[in-house]
Amino acid sequence: MFWPDTISKKLGIQYPVIQAPMFGVSTVEMAVAAAKANCLGSLALADLSADQSVELIRQMKKRTDQPFAVNIFVHDIPEVTAVLKEKYADAKQFIEHLAKDNAIEVRLPDLEEIRVNSYHTQIDAVIEENCKILSFTFGNLDDQSIRKLKENGVILIGTCTSVKEALLLEKSGIDIICVQGIEAGGHRGSFEAENIPQIGGLSLLSQVDDQVNVPLIYAGGIYDPKTLKAAKDLGAQGFQVGSLLLASQESALMPFEKERLKKVREEEIILTKSFSGRYARGVKNQFIEKIENSEYILPYPYQNKLTNALRKAAKSLQNPEFIGLWAGQSIYRYSERSTEEILKKLIETFETSMNMLSM
């Protein structure tokens, strides 16, 4: 009786709690565990190829018969110009030298080796695999894709970081809007990569709730009953959690990354474009200090593709200074229990606190 039921009924889940689709951190196992907690698991497909997307979707369907969302990136792909080619070569050389100076042996790809996938092929895969919930970030779907997905009964969840973005999503016919506050860990869901809105989550949620008529999910800083209740009181009908699950059993993070998270201080959580070319919130390290505000940051996704091999090499060396370790502003004792247990505890403690308030 304490939970809003609009979104849970729409999505076919018991609790309107959504496991955040954290590409590189969340796994099929995490999404399955979220479903076991009667929440919505999210399968992060990012900008994978259609074949890779299909493979993960089929793995998920083998593991659960519960509803789950697939999540994709819908960014524009910058044109490869002579200027971009020159900037890429300079950034590649600088980062390779930086890696070598820090005893990391790595070969970064040439621009011609990089393959960039458009989300349009993923749309066809989502429909062919009969997925019924699609969430997306970094912009809005094009009208043709929206029409095609709706004709096939797919529920659409778009991400906003401003009132303007929320209104655009609603006007496009998106079914549910995920309001992402500046507190949230990982990449900003903003439509533009530059000059992103930096609005506090609860302020943004309240404003969006005043101006749109579709159900809202809130993401950003939810980690306990108090933060969940605050979002509920300001209009959220669904609650997305990500950082809460970073150290869980099903997380793809390695033990040294989980240990680094447990030691993080509040001043170390920052916004940066250094690793990917889009703003993301995570833990400051040596790579960020060297690259941020330099001329060696390419537009997304080229920076992301360029630094991918470096991050993998650093991870294999258990070197936290050259990996992207994303986390939100709500710092707490990260639990290494299963995603199912963590979510069930959040639900139980929220219901207990609400019971106490109603006495």
CA distance 261 to 269: 10
Which of 156, 157, 162, 158 has its CA nearest to residue 205? 162
Q: Are 253 and 25 in contact (CB under 8 A)?
A: yes
Largest separation between any pair of C-alpha atoms in the chain: 68
Between the alpha carbon of residue 263 and those of residues 23, 149, 331, the distances in Å are: 23, 44, 10
For 156-170, write each residue's pLDDT tens digit.
999 999 999 999 999
Q: Which domains does the chain have, with CATH numbers?
A: 6-77+116-246 (3.20.20.70)
Sign of the dihedral through C-alpha 309, 312, 318, 324: positive
Return d(Cα 140, Cα 85) in angstroms, integer: 28
DSSP class of residue 40? Answer: B
Residue 1 pLDDT: 65
Those residues with Cβ within 8 angstroms of residue 328's Cβ, 6 or more apart along the chain or in another chain: 183, 184, 185, 186, 220, 221, 242, 243, 269, 281
Name the phi and psi angles at 94, rounded to 5: -65, -45
pTM metric for this prediction: 0.97
Which pLDDT score, from 0 to 100, does residue 359 have?
65
The per-residue pLDDT for 358 is 74
For 251-265, the pLDDT digits (tens) are: 999 999 999 999 999
Which residues in the chain land under pLDDT 70? 1, 359
> Is the link from the previous residue into 21 a cis peptide, with omega within 30 of 0?
no
Residues 240/217, Cβ–Cβ less than 8 Å: yes
Task: Please identify which residue in the block is written with the tokens 């004792």.
Answer: 333
